[in-house]
């Protein structure tokens, strides 16, 4: 296989709180009229697998390509998958449910679920937009349980740390952090590959058939890190945004006409936020140019060497594992 940057086909998810912003901002071909809340840009989960759209590997899933070429794609890590990242764009037109994801110990204790640590990069925000990021300082398990059991329901939200957000911020949400995304936000979400979400409060909403969505109170209370209440993980905006045990996220901003070298060694995932350009392989013409534009997510195999050439001012995130 001749390694080259792999483009992936997004998987769109309808959500009660979603909208059409992914079309407006990134020109994504989402189903018209539907509330699309999530675009899964990179997924290698049992039920959702990203498919490659360019070059000789087009039509194959990222997962199957890693199995065939573990060394070429993952380098020294040399694993056969699944790929240890899940990357999404989220269009929150309405507030998301208050929820928590378990850590590895909690999954083991409960005998189910997959742990999830995530971070949110704010792509666009309506004036006054907020996120809910953990519990307010000093909130105990007893107080939180009391609010869930005896309400009023909004009391749960009042116990959460409400944080105003701005474009360009990156917020870290380690497993065990109770959280919610407020209305009016477009977010790039980078997380460990898991679909385990324990919902605590859904703002008294019902779906199109008039039913409320399921809650998972017991599991949520087991998963929340109450001892960390009031901790506010640092907010970053430049350079290395996240450096946790699962992944690193770096912010890049390049002017029109500039170039950045992509060295071999480790697999990289690139998420383009603005602008466009081309990636040229070191051994052209065999490794033909690959174009990128805002809204694209590419996996660059570990053995690939090339140059990103920016045709317009471009902002992007590099996720490494
Ligand atoms: Zn979450």
Distance 52 CA to ligand 1 centre (A): 26
Q: How far is the CA of 7 from the centre of ligand 1 (A)?
A: 25
Q: How far is CA 30 from CA 53, 54, 233, in A?
A: 16, 19, 34
> 197 CA to middle of ligand 1, Å?
7
- C-alpha 262 – ligand 1 centre gap (Å): 31
Domain 6-233 class, CATH top level:
mainly beta
Q: Are 73 and 302 in contact (CB under 8 A)?
A: yes
Q: How many CA atoms lie within 13 A of 311 on its CB side?
A: 11
Pairwise CA distance, residues 221 & 53, whole Å = 41
Q: How far is the CA of 99 from the centre of ligand 1 (A)?
A: 6
Q: Where in the chain is the domain with CATH 2.60.120.10?
A: 6-233, 248-320
**How many angstroms separate the CA atoms of 155 and 32, rounded?**
36
Specify the pTM: 0.94
State in Å: Cα 278 to ligand 1 middle: 33
CATH architecture of 248-320: Sandwich (2.60)
Chain-centre distance of CA 259, in angstroms?
26
Query: Across the strands, what pairs with 89?
Result: 39, 188
pLDDT digits (tens), the chain, 321 positions: 789 999 999 999 999 899 999 999 999 999 888 899 999 999 999 999 999 999 999 999 999 999 999 999 999 887 877 899 999 999 999 999 999 999 999 999 999 999 999 999 999 999 999 999 999 988 999 999 999 988 777 889 999 999 999 999 999 999 999 999 999 999 999 999 998 999 999 888 888 888 988 899 999 999 999 987 666 667 888 899 999 999 999 999 999 999 999 999 999 999 999 999 999 987 765 557 999 999 999 999 999 999 999 999 999 999 999
Q: Which residues are catalytic?
A: 199
Q: What span, in angstroms and rounded, lies between the C-alpha atoms of 38 and 31?
A: 12
């Amino acid at each position: 296989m001749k390694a080259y940057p792999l483009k992936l086909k997004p998987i769109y998810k309808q959500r009660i709180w979603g909208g059409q912003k992914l079309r407006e901002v990134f020109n994504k071909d989402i189903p018209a009229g539907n509330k699309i809340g999530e675009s899964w840009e990179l997924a290698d989960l049992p039920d959702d697998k990203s498919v490659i759209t360019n070059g000789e590997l087009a039509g194959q899933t990222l997962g199957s390509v890693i199995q065939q070429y573990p060394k070429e794609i993952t380098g020294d890590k040399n694993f056969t998958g699944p790929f240890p990242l899940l990357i999404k764009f989220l269009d929150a037109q309405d507030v998301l449910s208050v929820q928590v994801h378990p850590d590895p110990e909690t999954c083991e204790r409960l005998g189910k679920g997959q742990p999830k640590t995530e971070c949110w990069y704010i792509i666009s925000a309506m004036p006054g937009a907020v996120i809910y990021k953990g519990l307010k300082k000093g909130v105990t398990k007893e107080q939180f349980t009391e609010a869930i059991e005896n309400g009023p329901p909004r009391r749960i939200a009042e116990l959460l740390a409400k944080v105003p957000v701005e474009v360009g911020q990156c917020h870290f949400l380690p497993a065990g952090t109770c959280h919610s995304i407020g209305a009016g936000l477009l977010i790039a979400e980078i997380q460990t590959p898991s679909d385990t979400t324990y919902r605590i409060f859904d703002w008294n909403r019902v779906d199109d058939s008039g039913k409320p969505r399921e809650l998972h109170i017991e599991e949520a209370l087991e998963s929340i890190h109450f001892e960390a209440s009031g901790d506010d993980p640092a907010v970053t905006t430049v350079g290395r945004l996240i450096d946790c045990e699962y992944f690193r996220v770096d912010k890049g901003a390049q002017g029109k006409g500039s170039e950045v070298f992509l060295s071999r060694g480790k697999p990289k995932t690139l998420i383009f936020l603005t602008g466009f350009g081309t990636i040229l392989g070191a051994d052209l013409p065999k490794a033909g140019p690959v174009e990128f534009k805002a809204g694209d997510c590419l996996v660059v195999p570990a053995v690939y060497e090339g140059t990103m050439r920016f045709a317009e001012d471009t902002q992007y995130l590099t996720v490494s594992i």
